[in-house]
Structure 1
Amino acid sequence: MLLSYPEADLSQDLVAVEQVLCGLASVPAASQLRRVAQWLGSMEQGEAAKTYVQVFDLSERVCLHLTYYRYGDTRERGMALAALVEAFQRAGFEVVPGELPDYLPALLELAATSATGTAVLGEHRVALDALHAALVELNTPYADVVDAVRSVLPRPSRRDRDALRQYRADGPPSERVGLEPFAPPEFLGGHNLLQGGSR
């Protein structure tokens, strides 16, 4: 919820977040998440929404779609998205048609209910590190949320660190020819929401 667009019921969402955090008092990352929740709670919904757009929609290096960091807009990204759709299906979820399956808030929902989601997040450690670095550069509290996620994942490997350095130097890969078939239409779209028998 803390990485999702602040909707009209933001205050109710933050109450739910605080209730969850009260049960996680012994988890080191809980204090980071509470700081972000309090920061969001200090704003009116409209101000919080405007801040969200400035951070996540207007910043070139900030993207909540994790496959973008590794693949950019290339054919390989289409295959990675298809693999994620299969991962959601194995866990009993369906990706809403027209939505991308690599949207971080949706992957966090998956991780909350399935070990598959945690494994997927681990596979995208480089993307999470790149996202965190970009948010730190913007000096936004949203960096604390991503850092909290990173704190419960295995430490990055040397290969991960090398990949992160390359991304920060060059940005995501690009491919300008023949992009039309890069993924089926149902994998292309905006933010991902889940639906499934367990929801």
Structure 2
Amino acid sequence: MRIFRAFSALLSYPTEDFVAALDEIGEVIANERLVPARERAALLDLVHDLRGCDLYDLQERYVLLFDRTRSLSLHLFEHVHGESRDRGQAMVDLRALYEANGLVGAENELPDFTPLFLEFLSTLDPTQALPLLGEPAHVFTALAERLHKRKSPYEAVFRALTAIAKVQPDEALLALLRAEPDPEPDDFEALDEAYEDAPVDFGAPAGDSCGRDGLAAKLRQARRPAPGVAQSVKPPTTFTYSPSSQAAEADRHD
């Protein structure tokens, strides 16, 4: 599904190649009827906004939003597991899901990085991709709300993702995300507090929605074949995703 590859590109660190591909990305969005009309229009506004900005400004804005604001992290398990021990197992499970479907990811990027996750979905049949897309719907909704507060056009991507998934986010999980701190990138004191290491909870109950029964468990279940159906194994595919290298770029421009 090309639309997921377009979303992946829009949420990746801006490069010259990305800017050169904006017309193609806009064409994919304009022709994709899976995206409702309102969300499609907002996505095209985002493409127009990106096309009209200097590359350096795009990079600076991206870093301030997604690298220096923990509440806007593009790493899904940052919002699902935080610093708990379940996060490591969730990473292992998600990478195993990629590999089970013949996708070899970039080793220098964590598997829960949203552009990488979306690139993976682009390789699947819609009947496989859409249920997986719905699992982090509460995360996408929270990110959309936080970006809306900042009047960021990137909100359009997360609104479109939740619209395509056609699922209602878990209200209890969404409430927890809404209650978390959401400091601005220039509020350094609040950012320091947000990035303080949280104690690891080794006694989380088995039914904790942020533990093994949460997104990671559902992703594990998604890769199991249905009863009586043999699991097809695709030959490994070289994954062509280009890592964002945001931190390196940020250091270079600071």
TM bucket (normalised to shorter chain) is: 0.7 to 0.9
Asked whether 1:56 is paired with 2:63, we answer: no
Instruction: Determine the C-alpha separation between the residues in 1 that align with 2:136 and 2:52.
Output: 32
Instruction: Determine the C-alpha separation between the residues in 2 that align with 1:76 and 1:25.
Output: 37
Q: Which has the larger radius of gyration?
A: 2
- Residue 28 of structure 2 corresponds to 20
Instruction: Determine the C-alpha separation between the residues in 1 that align with 2:14 and 2:77.
Output: 23
Q: Percent identity?
A: 27
Contact 1:10–1:45 at 8 Å: present in 2 too?
A: no
Asked whether 1:149 is paired with 2:161, we answer: yes
Deviation at 1:83, TM superposition (A): 1.0
- Residue 190 of structure 1 corresponds to none
Counterpart amino acid of residue 169 in structure 1: A
- Residue 135 of structure 2 corresponds to 123
Counterpart amino acid of residue 148 in structure 1: A
- TM-score under structure 1 normalisation? 0.81
Instruction: Determine the C-alpha separation between the residues in 1 that align with 2:199 and 2:119.
Output: 31
- Residue 162 of structure 1 corresponds to 172
- TM-score under structure 2 normalisation? 0.64
Instruction: Determine the C-alpha separation between the residues in 2 that align with 1:129 and 1:162.
Output: 13
Structure 2 residue ranges without an equivalent (≥5): 1-8, 182-193, 203-235, 241-254
Instruction: Determine the C-alpha separation between the residues in 1 that align with 2:198 and 2:132.
Output: 23
Structure 1 residue ranges without an equivalent (≥5): 179-194
Q: 1:26 to 1:109 in 2, by over 3 A?
A: closer
- Select which of 42, 50, 53 maps to 1:40: 50
- Residue 138 of structure 1 corresponds to 150
Q: 1:151 to 1:26 in 2, by over 3 A?
A: closer
Secondary structure of the 1:113 match is coil
Deviation at 1:170, TM superposition (A): 4.0
Contact 1:107–1:117 at 8 Å: present in 2 too?
A: no
Q: 1:32 to 1:98 in 2, by over 3 A?
A: same
Contact 1:108–1:117 at 8 Å: present in 2 too?
A: no
Instruction: Determine the C-alpha separation between the residues in 1 that align with 2:180 and 2:60.
Output: 29
Instruction: Determine the C-alpha separation between the residues in 1 that align with 2:35 and 2:94.
Output: 28
- Residue 11 of structure 1 corresponds to 19
Deviation at 1:50, TM superposition (A): 0.9
Q: How many pairs align?
A: 181
